[in-house]
Amino acid sequence: MDLKLAGSKVVVVGGASGIGLATTKLLLEERASVVLWDIRSDTDQVAQGLAETYGSDCCGCHCDVASEESVRQAGVWTGERLPYIDHVVHCAAIGSGKFGFPFTNLQPQDWLKNLQVNVMGMVHVAHTVVPLIRKQRFGGMVFLGSVAGQIGSQTDPPYSACKAANINFAQCLAKDLAPEGIRVNTVNPGMVQTPLNRSVWQAWCDAQPEDQKRSYEQWAGEKVSKVVPLGRWQTVDDIANMIVFLLSPRAGNVTGQTINVDGGFVMHW
């Protein structure tokens, strides 16, 4: 299906790995031009490799979303290269790396980095990219949430709470920007085999009683098969497919929505 994204100019935050990279590749397949913002030091090299592979425009710059100044500089860098942008995808996030059940396993200071990256990072990006999108009075923004933000996941309370904040702020943005023709949606991955997911789940696995110890792969695979109705992991491509569809004109009347790609794990009205 042609999603009619050819020639679109898209910023993908966190686009050099994981779900962000899968999204970037799909956008390039659709002949969009992509700018990567990522904390990786080799972001520009990743972008150059993608440009050569897909024969589409792709460039990248280092960006730490936890830093307002770093995001601002990425915005200036992008503005010097593009007269405007059509779409933004925000995928940058971290987990606490600790098992949070009960929540007293964590200390208040364990929340701070999550809040700075996952919540303030989204704020920094929104304030920087919206002026670039407003030039068109048309466009789409997709933020990566998580089912954890809907169910109060005890595995990692800081991550869970941040994802709930992401969902809520995206709805605020959707209401603010709708009069300008800019759509804002959230995609919630379920169980995806990414380094981030493993960082959240590994500590949970390690906390199992000695008589129930198994390898991470065995433990996580059994958990997914039990709690996900479709009985399997989701892939980065599953998530990217939804993100790119939501950016396309084929989703032109969809805004303020939170859409799960989770194999049926969380079902809601």
- Looking at the structure of the chain, the number of domains it has is 1
- Sheet with 258-261, strands from edge to edge, namely 58-62, 33-38, 9-13, 87-90, 139-144, 182-189, 258-261
**pLDDT 10s digits, 148-161:** 999 988 889 999 99
What is the C-alpha separation between 125 and 74, in angstroms, rounded?
A: 10
Domain assignment of residue 3, yes or no: no
**pLDDT 10s digits, 38-68:** 999 999 999 999 999 999 999 999 999 999 9
Q: Is the pLDDT of residue 204 over 80?
A: no
**pLDDT 10s digits, 119-132:** 999 999 999 999 99
CB 129 within 8 A of CB 84: no
Domain assignment of residue 1, yes or no: no
Looking at residue 259, what is its pLDDT? 98
Burial of residue 136 (CB within 10 Å: 0-12, 13-18, 19+) is: middle
pTM: 0.92
What is the domain range of residue 240?
A: 9-190+236-260
Domain assignment of residue 206, yes or no: no
**CATH classification at residue 90:** 3.40.50.720
Domain assignment of residue 252, yes or no: yes
At residue 114, φ and ψ (nearest 5 deg) are -60, -45
**pLDDT 10s digits, 214-261:** 776 776 778 788 889 999 999 999 999 999 999 999 999 999 999 999
Domain assignment of residue 208, yes or no: no
Rg (CA), the chain: 18
Domain assignment of residue 202, yes or no: no
